[in-house]
């Protein structure tokens, strides 16, 4: 919303500054066309900026960032609780990969986490999913499955 206001104010300032150029008919038409084009371009740019999908994705991903307070208290929590939190994070990653299966780094991280947790049966299931998803891209498939 702020960009629209800034754009409109900019056009008004430019109109006020360039008012002396409107003395002749030729300059008036040129000025009128340039302001129309400038305002149109600014409006479209503002709309694109506001409705850009990555902006919304970034906004929703800020909630997924690990809380530093939780990390600080992780050392004082009992091992069972730590393991529960680790399993929760691994399961959360697995669920996010279901909605965005083309996340290469996510698959690598999931396989590493499952390897750390000694979840060999789950690793095999994930490998099958990965092979189905990236069957048309053997380079990416090899990159993800290297070491597993």
Model pTM score: 0.49
pLDDT score recorded for residue 110? 92
Token pair in block for residue 81: 């609780």
Q: Comparing C-alpha atoms, which of 114, 90, 102, 113 is closest to residue 140? A: 102
60-91: per-residue pLDDT in tens? Answer: 554 444 554 555 555 667 778 888 888 898 99
User: How far is Cα 28 from Cα 21, in angstroms, rounded to an integer?
Assistant: 7
pLDDT score recorded for residue 68? 47
Give the domain ranges of the chain. 2-58, 66-145
């Amino acid at each position: 919303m702020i960009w629209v206001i800034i754009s409109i104010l900019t056009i008004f300032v430019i109109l006020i500054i360039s008012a002396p150029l409107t003395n002749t008919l030729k300059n008036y038409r040129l000025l009128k066309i340039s302001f129309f084009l400038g305002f149109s371009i600014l409006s479209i740019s503002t709309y694109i900026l506001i409705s850009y999908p990555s902006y919304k994705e970034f906004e929703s991903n800020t909630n997924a960032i690990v809380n530093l307070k939780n990390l600080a208290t992780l050392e004082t929590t009992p091992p069972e609780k730590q393991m529960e939190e680790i399993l929760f994070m691994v399961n959360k990653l697995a669920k996010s990969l279901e909605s965005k299966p083309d996340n290469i780094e996510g698959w690598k991280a999931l396989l590493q986490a499952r390897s750390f947790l000694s979840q060999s049966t789950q690793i095999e299931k994930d490998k099958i999913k990965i092979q189905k998803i990236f069957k048309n891209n053997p380079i990416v498939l090899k990159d993800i499955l290297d070491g597993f």
